Structure 1
């Protein structure tokens, strides 16, 4: 019996590797279903290869490097799967490969650095400023002061190290493009990089201002984690072994704004939108999709569900999502007919039973996600004199999650919240937990009462 070959560019009908002009930080399933897919489908894709670096773990580099960066995108429609071989990753590296990273940044042909490092990766403190008190940030600052080529751990420090190498090489301007779920992610990245640069080498601040374009984007594509079944199905359908295929949904959206002084792929050929102002698109997606995802992750898992499609099929979960969407829609400032159409499309996407998006995956890093997904709607409703029961339901689910009910807690920033949540009876701990999200939030007696009431309703 002939062994199934490992996927590589030596197999027939595989795309050629393009020259590296983009570096990506945080290669994972979402990046490969989204930005890498758009780059693959740009009309000038042959000119735009991506060198991707892993995040905390080297797993993707270990899986993809032997495959020459190739992987299979499995698009799960209601009627069945479709398969596509994506070739835009020209190289995949572990995060520890600092010399390779700095080499790319020093190359004048490099035009763009993109990131998907999650909200947690931005090491922010109050007001979206750098949290320079964190041990890992302090360690990175010290390392770069001593040697600008030192390995560093945090995203802002990686960018500063890259900019130091680029300036030293005289390699010219480039764009840094955030693809994470943060409002005004380009502006946030600019602030973090500038503040860390000032602590490492103050002269880099002026160089960055003159040479670096911090672009903003909104991204959207539901992309679950890869399973052993995905690998088995790809081998059976495609005739090769793929160590890391990517399952995703048919829907995809990318809206961006930036100058791109060193150029960019023709992403618009694949359906991306380049606009003057990303903010309205950003709010719609963060509040409606991501906000409801977080609610379903906590509330749905407490009620015994494991995936988005299961949770949205629960009439009570659906009613709470609709309630939260009503509150968000009242404050979005977008035409009601546009928002209503988007809501209907979201429900259709959530009900796709073939995209098994795990609630436990979405539940990660709630301490970083809720301030941008839930609190904007909550604060707008309270400012209008209303008690947002939908938003309170999300917070109630999160409190229960912190108390060990439902999805497991995987959130490095949740230490104070988890400690507060387990310091007594639920009715007594809610104010302290809310205060970890936003100062004095726990002093809002009406909101606290709503959270306590919804915690009881969720567990009924």
Structure 2
């Protein structure tokens, strides 16, 4: 709902349900029917926004990841926040009330309680690609220390009416989800849909495989129940949502003090494939699309938008750029992106529209009022390269094509890695190790599965200004 309050002559009010009621905006929290893992800006700009617009009584209980910080200002505001859509011409403001509870991800007692409730029909995830704890083969990384620790914790956990008894609760997102699903199974609370909203190809299938593999380490009966009663929905999600801190003038001007404002671009898109055995909000009435085969739409977005973002994030900082808009305005960076787009679209089905989509992306990237920082995008680059660049290079090489633009993109990443441009990356130690050996180009390409053939490796080497040591 848009806030129509005009308070030019009044002091702004703290944003909470009591003050919304004073302003004449419906403020009662909807009953929780969705649990979300990964409370952050993107969830609040996307799934919570769609749920708000659907307006049919599906409240969200959103849990943070590692840190409780994201929940603290939201909880103080009863889960309410302002969403600012920042277009090139100005801002629009909506007050979002669909999050009924904002919780610390470590609040496992509440997570268990909610997932044991038959009224809860959906668990959605925005935990980033790295949150799935996948190995290079795309399967559960059983050697990951936190996965191993979660397995040990879950094997010894005892579920009671008051929560969980164990010396240590699970800390990975899927470990926590598995704990909640075990409680649901024990409570005979019925089927549920798990909806991944992360930028991973076939994210629903990945979640199903990874969660089932984790369950198999704990209890075969639990793994069997997941296979029978849990639906895994794949999605393609799209809305540029840069990190933002502090209050926004447009919100204050509408009469609100908000310490949890989310800033996003006006554009939003959501495509879903899968079943919802316990029901879902009427997302289809507010622009979400439900399809039988999500892969073409998923690939289009993952390659053209996210792939381009990754290229700008590895090439832009070396040229002094801090944001997408700055890097995209650089002729050399833009040429890298457009050449990559030209290769990527040849790997999409003919009936998937790309000309208008690329024009739209160029306009979105150039929006100077969206300060989408490259260092934010660069987090977990190693995983992103595997999903966004390497599959296109592999397809092109299989067809006998040179994949020159993919080689250029990989060379830009390798150059940044060897220069030790700092980024947050769970595989940072492996990247630094590969970057420091005698032939860093070959080692880094091997790390991401891009050592496709000797000719391609030579092409990347010719484009990376690095000499073997």
Matched, 1:250 2:266: yes
SS in 1 for 2:252: helix
Question: Partner residue of 1:280?
Answer: 296
- What is the CA–CA distance in structure 1 between the aligned matches of 2:403 and 2:452, rounded to whole Å? 16
TM-aligned CA deviation for residue 442 of structure 1? 3.7
Question: Partner residue of 1:169?
Answer: 187
SS in 1 for 2:401: coil
TM-aligned CA deviation for residue 449 of structure 1? 3.0
Matched, 1:421 2:435: yes
Match of 1:131 among 118, 141, 152: 141
TM-aligned CA deviation for residue 444 of structure 1? 3.1
Question: Partner residue of 1:378?
Answer: 393
TM-score, scaled relative to structure 1: 0.93
CA contact (8 A) 1:430 1:442 kept: no
CA contact (8 A) 1:186 1:217 kept: yes
Q: Report which stretch shifted further, 236-245 or 208-217.
A: 236-245
1:307-335 C-alpha deviation (Å, 9 max, x unpaired): 11111111111111111011111111233
CA contact (8 A) 1:431 1:443 kept: no
TM-aligned CA deviation for residue 235 of structure 1? 5.0
Question: Partner residue of 2:177?
Answer: 159
1:229-250 C-alpha deviation (Å, 9 max, x unpaired): xx14245323222111111011
Q: Which stretches in structure 2 are left out of the alignment for 5+ residues?
A: 1-8, 159-163
Question: Partner residue of 1:339?
Answer: 354
1:52-90 C-alpha deviation (Å, 9 max, x unpaired): 000122111111100000111010111100111011100
CA contact (8 A) 1:280 1:334 kept: no
Q: Report which stretch shifted further, 1-10 or 21-30.
A: 1-10
Q: Which stretches in structure 1 are left out of the alignment for 5+ residues?
A: none
TM-aligned CA deviation for residue 361 of structure 1? 0.5
Q: Which has the higher helix share?
A: 1
TM-aligned CA deviation for residue 390 of structure 1? 1.4
Matched, 1:448 2:457: yes
Match of 1:271 among 277, 283, 287: 287
Q: Report which stretch shifted further, 391-400 or 108-117.
A: 391-400
Question: Partner residue of 1:24?
Answer: 36
Question: Partner residue of 2:196?
Answer: 178
TM-aligned CA deviation for residue 174 of structure 1? 0.5
CA contact (8 A) 1:268 1:274 kept: yes
- What is the CA–CA distance in structure 2 between the aligned matches of 1:239 and 1:185, rounded to whole Å? 40
- What is the CA–CA distance in structure 2 between the aligned matches of 1:249 and 1:449, rounded to whole Å? 40
TM-aligned CA deviation for residue 443 of structure 1? 6.9
TM-aligned CA deviation for residue 415 of structure 1? 1.5
SS in 2 for 1:264: coil
Question: Partner residue of 1:142?
Answer: 152
CA contact (8 A) 1:234 1:245 kept: no
- What is the CA–CA distance in structure 2 between the aligned matches of 1:227 and 1:266, rounded to whole Å? 31
CA contact (8 A) 1:175 1:262 kept: yes
- What is the CA–CA distance in structure 1 between the aligned matches of 2:180 and 2:129, rounded to whole Å? 21
SS in 2 for 1:306: coil
Question: Partner residue of 1:357?
Answer: 372
Match of 1:81 among 88, 91, 109: 91
CA RMSD of aligned residues (A): 1.8
Question: Partner residue of 1:108?
Answer: 118
1:96-130 C-alpha deviation (Å, 9 max, x unpaired): 10101111000110000000000000011243221
1:150-209 C-alpha deviation (Å, 9 max, x unpaired): 421112211211111001111111100000001111111111111111111111122112
Question: Partner residue of 2:418?
Answer: 403
Matched, 1:330 2:367: no
Question: Partner residue of 2:220?
Answer: 202
Question: Partner residue of 2:4?
Answer: none
TM-score, scaled relative to structure 2: 0.92
TM-aligned CA deviation for residue 422 of structure 1? 2.9
How many residues align? The count is 446
1:337-371 C-alpha deviation (Å, 9 max, x unpaired): x1111111110111111111111110110111111
Question: Partner residue of 1:36?
Answer: 48
Moved over 6 A (4+): none
